[in-house]
Amino acid sequence: MENISNSTNLNVRIDSNLKKEADDLFKRLGLNMSSAINVFLTQSVREQAIPFEIHEDRPNKKLLKALKEAEKIEKHPEKYKGYHNLEELMKDLEK
């Protein structure tokens, strides 16, 4: 794969938490950071593109479900119990 005499260094600045999480992931996959970056770069060159979809953040299914529920509550508040203060809520939760 890589010929040591033909290698070069690449310095990249990344968030330290992201680096740790990536190191942990790659270790579980049997790779080190350098190997994982080489896989990414090789695949990018092979496909002549980023090898995964890049898009704006989208809400996950759980959030979409919660948003729909909030819309229902907003449209028909009479169908849902409301609380005027935390004490009322806590009393219901303790039942």
Question: Rounded CA gap, 89 and 94, in Å?
Answer: 9
| pLDDT for residue 4 | 65
Pair of tokens at residue 73: 């509550």
Question: Long-range CB contacts (< 8 A, 24+ apart) of 30-33?
Answer: none
CB 54 within 8 A of CB 48: no
> 95 or 87, which is more confident?
87
Predicted TM-score of the model (pTM) = 0.54
In percent, the amount of the chain with pLDDT more than 90 equals: 74
pLDDT at 51 over 80: yes
